[in-house]
Amino acid sequence: MKFEDYHIIPEIKTSLAELGFKRPTDIQFKAIPNILNGEDVLAIAQTGTGKTAAFAIPIIHLISQSGVDQGVQAVVMVPTHELAIQITEVFNAIGKYTDVRTLALYGGVDQDPQIEKLEQGVDIVIATPGRLFDLVSQRHLTLRDLKLLVLDEADLMLDLGFYRDIEFLISKLPTRRQTLFFSATIDEKIKKLAYSIVRNAIRIQISPKDPVSKNVTHSVMFVSMDDKRFFLERIVNENPESRILVFVRTKVRAERVFEAMKRVGITCQTMHGDKNQDDRLQVMNDYKNGLFKVLIATDISARGVDIANVDYVINYDLPDVAENYVHRVGRTGRGNNKGVAVSFCSTEERPILKEIEQYMDKKINVLEVNKADYSETLALTEDVNDNWKKLISDFDSEEKAYKGKKKKKK
């Protein structure tokens, strides 16, 4: 089935054609008809499967049909600033030829411009729970006319401690509404929240036995913790045209890796919670526009980074939680694109690797690094702080050559 065969308004079909959307993905194929029919939906689907369009297409259609300028008719709650912005971009692209107006609401920036836009009239709000809570509490936003609620990346919202904010906001919503619940993973906590807000929901689960995209090739390299930067340097230098996303465990680690790459002449930026919102937006825009090829991020940003054509995801540090591996590697191999995920695993991280493999129910392919390649990687670094390694390597080579000559003379 093609999008042109769906019972959606022509304006959306035109936008989808311009965006190159011809056929729905699995989640879109299963979700869109049910949403158009007014059903509640509980969807479990890994990242990169087209979840955003799965709810954006029917929501824009339904609001266009019912009529705009009736107050906020739909709210999409998301966990991060970046995700709010990116989902808003998707809604604007799909609703380009309609009169539907979408606004992103998120913290970290002055709320006055957002309030001003709300007063001008908005049909759909894409918001983080914290900022939504503030604006509803201050009565700048009323949800009494809401027809449709979406919780996207619900598992991460709970991980970030938004449960009480979500409960408060739901208490302000009309009981008669349509609710869509999307999550990449599910556990007892997620089930409890989901079944407290949906009614007789259609349950959709995509690839439950394989939580990661089939378009991603996975591999792991066993590397000493202190040597990881040299292997990252080599991968970047051997793939100069590739867009690379590097995940580390902490903000401090992100800045240390940034400094290490800077020393060897590799242009990169960091993305983590200590950056203010303006800086984060600037970094994302520069990364999207190709001003640099390597972005170093923490897990908090894992689901907020939705960049087209990320070629490599490098797990510089393995994540503390196995599920986060899924969200990290989901940044590549999106849609029909192919992607590569490479993980650096130190001796102390091997138990985490085992947990990840158990979670995915399959082994990750090991990239064998022999002693010669390992030594060569350390020797080839441009890091001025580690030139001693190259000197030692050069000395060893000269020593071998010298001994060889002496043997020949004898």
pLDDT tens-digit series, residues 74-85 = 999 998 888 899
Domains and CATH numbers, the chain: 3-205 (3.40.50.300), 216-369 (3.40.50.300)
Report the pLDDT value the prediction gives residue 172, as an integer from 0 to 100: 84
Rg, Å, the chain Cα set: 24
Three-state SS for 131-174 is: HHHHHHHCCCCCCCCCCEEEECCHHHHHHCCCHHHHHHHHHCCC
Report the pLDDT value the prediction gives residue 305, as an integer from 0 to 100: 61
For residue 182, the surrounding DSSP H or E stretch is strand 178-183
Q: Is the pLDDT of residue 389 over 60?
A: no
- Whether residue 363 contacts residue 357, with contact meaning beta carbons closer than 8 Å, is answered with yes
b or e along 347-373 (b: 16 or more beta carbons within 10 Å of the residue's beta carbon)? Answer: eebeebbebbbebbeeebeeeeeeeee
Q: Is the pLDDT of residue 262 over 90?
A: yes
- Whether residue 130 contacts residue 47, with contact meaning beta carbons closer than 8 Å, is answered with no
Average pLDDT over residues 152-165: 79
pLDDT tens-digit series, residues 191-205 = 888 888 888 889 998
The two three-digit tokens of residue 410, written as one number: 């004898």
For Cα atoms 363, 298, 285, give the angle at the middle one, nearest 5 degrees. 115
pLDDT tens-digit series, residues 48-66 = 678 899 999 999 999 999 9
Report the pLDDT value the prediction gives residue 400, as an integer from 0 to 100: 55
Range list of H helices, 320-370: 322-329, 350-360
